[in-house]
Amino acid sequence: MTPVPKKDRSIKVFNLALQGGGSHGAFTWGVLDALLEAGNCRFDGISGTSAGAMNATVLAAGFAQAAELGLTDAREAHARGCELARQTLRTFWEAVGTMGVFLNASPSSMAAQWMPWLKPLMVSPLSPAQTNPMDINPLRTLLRRLIDFEAIQRHQGQGLVPQLFIGATNVRTGRSKVFEGEQVSLDALMASACLPQLFNAVEIDGEHYWDGGYSGNPAIYPLIYHAQADDVLLVQINPIETNAVPRTMTEIQERVNEVTFNASLLAELRAIEFVRRLLEEGRLEPGRYKAMRMHRIDGGSLLEPFGSDSKLRADIRFLQDLFSLGRTAAQQWLQTHYANVGVRATL
């Protein structure tokens, strides 16, 4: 059995909650890159949906590579994990960008753009069984090549590799399904990011799943019940508020999607704040309830000008721009709010 490094108490430990949002997940890539580069953050649990789930699992794959080395010095193991996680995240997103360029230049695109042919499928009366009968998804091949799921399962939750909570939506029940522990798999990732307008529902153990954003983007409750850390950093890439009333049908649909994909998150945040306030007032028993300290890096307002259409854009230059925005946002958070981790909520 691989030895578990002893904890380094100079590193602050907290959970991550990573929203989904298509290629806007490259903003989260930038956030994670800056946090990993800082080297003073350890992630206890990570809850992710769709692109957030992919970022979470790719990051965990990097730490799993470090865990396989069997390092016993905590600082060395953490530093190596951060390094490998940054490399793995970059490899993933650069590969996504390469696929995006390939798709943008494909003959089927005619206008040398992905969006003009992909967007109509989102509102087409045809189902994925008709438009994509072979259920082709290039991300599946990429993730299979990049991630050692068995290594993640061997090491997650032992101190170096964070616990993963991958959110999907059960098509039959409409409820959130969180894959964790040995359930974290390639199929679970594909289920978490399965937009029903583009891909057939993913079947796992006799149940069918769609994108997790419909029921939790992301789910916070697994971090409350299963993670040890009391702090959660939410990386938000879907705007909650808008400055303009949508007028066109495209704008209306975009806003409906934003409201829908944020609804469950807002409900959980209200519940967390309600419990925290009751605990402060002494109206609940501290031993039975957990006061979570919430923090946020808000990418929604930064990404809103790009429009929701750009969530399906995957050219490398665009992804690199989002990456830079995410790095800057994370660096600002580290300067202004990192000291509050373990002390007080900032959201």
DSSP 266-327: HHHHHHHHHHHHHHHTT-S-TTTS---EEEEEE-HHHHGGG-GGGGG---HHHHHHHHHHHH
Question: End-to-end distance of the chain based on CA atoms, in angstroms?
Answer: 40
Query: Predicted confidence band at 220 (pLDDT cuts at 50, 70, 90)?
Result: very high
Task: State how far the Cα of 84 lies from the Cα of 76, in Å rounded to an integer.
Answer: 12
Tell me 156's DSSP state: B
pLDDT tier for residue 117 given thresholds of 50, 70 and 90: very low
Global pTM value: 0.88
Residue range 250-254: average pLDDT? 76
How far is 234 from 288, CA to CA, in rounded Å? Answer: 24
Q: Please tell me the predicted confidence (pLDDT) of residue 344.
A: 94
Structure tokens at 195: 């937009």
In terms of pLDDT, which residue wins out, 247 or 84? 84
CB distance 146 to 96 below 8 Å: no
- For the annotated catalytic residues, the residue numbers are 50, 211
pLDDT band, very low/low/confident/very high, at 125 (cuts 50, 70, 90): low
- Kindly report, residue by residue over 179-216, the tens digit of the pLDDT: 999 999 999 999 999 988 888 999 999 999 999 999 99
Reading the block at residue 106, the tokens are: 């494909």
- Give the pLDDT of residue 131: 47
Domains of the chain by residue range: 13-340
Strands 163-170 and 207-211: antiparallel
Q: Which string of DSSP letters, residue by residue, matches 88-138? A: HHHHHHHHHHHHHHHHHTSGGGSSS-SHHHHHHHHT-SS-HHHH-TT---H
Query: Is the pLDDT score of 346 beyond 50?
Result: yes
The CATH architecture of the domain made up of 13-340 is 3-Layer(aba) Sandwich (3.40)
Segment 295-322 mean pLDDT: 89
Give the per-residue pLDDT at 108.
Answer: 34
Do 46 and 231 contact (CB within 8 A), yes or no? no
- Angstrom distance (rounded) from CA 169 to CA 30: 27
311 vs 328, more confident: 328
Residue 299 near residue 328 (C-beta atoms within 8 A): no
CA dist., res. 9 & res. 329, Å (int): 25
Which of the four pLDDT bands, split at 50, 70 and 90, describes residue 232?
A: very high
Q: Which residue has the tokens 């008709």?
A: 130
Mean pLDDT across 154-181? 95
Top pLDDT among 208 and 276 is at 208
